[in-house]
Amino acid sequence: MDLLRSVKDSTDETEFYTPLPEGYTLGQTKYVAVFGTVMSGLGKGIFSSSLAKLLKDKGLTVAPIKLEGYLNIDSGTLNPFRHGEVFVLDDGMETDMDLGTYERMLDQDLVGANFATSGQIFSAVLDKERAGSYLGRDVQMIPHVTGEVKMRLRELALQSEADVVFIEVGGTVGDIENAFYIEALRELSYEEGEGSVLCVALTYVLSPPTLGEQKSKAAQLGIKRLMEFGIHPHLIACRAEDRVTDKVRQKISIYTNVPLKRVFSMHDLPSIYLLPQIMREEGLDSEVVQLLNLGGLINSAEDARNAQAWQEFSSRIGKHTHDVTVGVTGKYTALRDSYASIIKSLEHSEVANDAKVHIKWIDTTDIDAADVVGVLGDVDGIIVPGGFGVRGTAGKIACIQYARVNNLPYLGICLGFQMAVIEYARNVCGLDLADSTEIDPDTQTPVISVLPEQKKIEGLGGNMRLGGQDVMITPGTLAAELFDGAKHIRQRFRHRYEVDPDYIEQLEAGGLIFSGRHGEHRIMQILELPRDVHPYFVAAQFHPELTSRPLRPQPMFKGLVRAAIERKQA
């Protein structure tokens, strides 16, 4: 009797249940699974994406996937204060911020298959149960829910044609919602065969100030909990404020049977982009290649080129000749993770501009025209980011007016685009009551609104316009200059409200330029002011921060930093 059976072959005569996608071969794809212990938020995504980058640099095809324990179908409804920013993929999937870390580190666009939640897994299982796909069996966590997890991983392997799939399990070992993920990965390791699945435990080494030394007991116990699930790690990454001492690494090595050379000190660094180089120097990439028998697939020449390019980038981090301050005026500023991609976009742009960018966080909830001079008087440029709801919009409009009147470099994003239209309509075009129907549903001058014909065009219904869309660029504009003369670009959207076409001509007559538009319909996507009116005033209905990469900074952010430098030098 074969050990592994498909759904169709599963009967009461066997308990083996391993659904395999058509065309999938066991043991052909390699997997790296990353688990967290002690506490969450330690950087599993940063470690996993850095290691994946090193393998991609060697010419391997890699595909990451984040397994989330929450029951939401996606991250779209999560409050930024609870879970950080919502990162939108090109295909419209709303995910958590870790997918942004993977895209930036790998310079690779991801899709919905790279993200799974418990809600997705359970929904798929229940749909199959209703369809009779389990042939009358009682549906259980094991083997059916764990089987669905393995099916997702193997489908991703086939779809992406990956040599290595990187699996990040959200949260920590011991979280009840993660137990079935951990069990599924134990089963995966058993079924794929020896040398096919490599497990990483990311743990935390405490440094109590009163003791003055690093303590490893919490790390040891966290890894022990993982081993109790049947997962024996091949690598251990030790998060700590300072470099983990050899003594502590030796303790963890002995306690876990993991060789000392595979117990890695993942201590705090000035930038996460320094981590791949340190991992390379420690030989972690070579250990993974050896453990997974990937040596025959390595392209040494490509590895050398990629390593050199990254070294040139990372060597410039922290070194600069310019120093500027950019204000980020939002309403989620109490939690920096709400603007994670904006922070990273500024990091990419500061390296490209040989600058250090200091971020001044400005909560617009209580700002009015009387406050704005004191709030923005010491910044060299501002960003008004996206957001939803009424709170803080009046403060954003006041900040935009100050930036426009005082020639302060300005970048508006999504809501920042809409608020710029409202500010210009009120204060330049004479539309004193101009507003958005999101802010005032009964406004008599809805320069920003949701239009029935646009809903029909985009097929939105009551939902948002999500994911990648083409933007047509008007030649001779600032947008065309920023995007190197491109006639069209692809950017990611997440919004409901648009510029009402009834007001476009009046806004343009007043001097506002819509330099980016929908290819077929009257949907405005980039606005700007002429360069002889303002040195740098530009806004996008899309989210430019979602497509910025370390070696390819997003042009609108890069331009903002350059304009801020020029203003400070003037």
Active-site positions?
A: 414, 543, 545
Q: List beta partners, residue 116.
A: 67
DSSP structural state of residue 250: H
User: What's the token pair of residue 165?
Assistant: 């799939």
Q: What is the DSSP letter of 277?
A: H
Local structure of residue 340 (DSSP, 8 states): H
Q: How far apart (Å, rounded) are the C-alpha atoms in residues 238 and 225?
A: 16
Give alpha helix (H) positions in 86-230: 98-106, 118-130, 146-160, 179-192, 217-228
- Helix, strand or coil for residue 114? helix
Q: Which one-letter amino acid corresponds to residue 44?
A: K
Residues 123, 162: contact at Cβ < 8 Å?
Answer: no
The SS3 call for residue 358 is strand
d(Cα 358, Cα 347) in Å, to the nearest integer?
Answer: 10
Q: What is the 3-state secondary structure (H, E, C) of 309-320?
A: HHHHHHCCCCCC
Sign of CA dihedral 206, 167, 197, 3: positive
* 16, two tokens: 């083996």
Which two tokens mark 253? Answer: 């090595």
Say which DSSP state 241 is in.
Answer: S
Q: Rounded to the nearest 5 degrees, what angle is found at the Cα of 506, between the Cα atoms of 505 and 507?
A: 90
Q: What distance in Å separates the CA atoms of residue 515 and residue 230, rounded to the nearest whole number?
A: 57
Tokens of 157: 């392997």
DSSP 8-state assignment for residue 14: -
**What gap in Å lies between CA 526 and CA 416, rounded to an integer?**
11
d(C-alpha 336, C-alpha 358), whole Å: 14
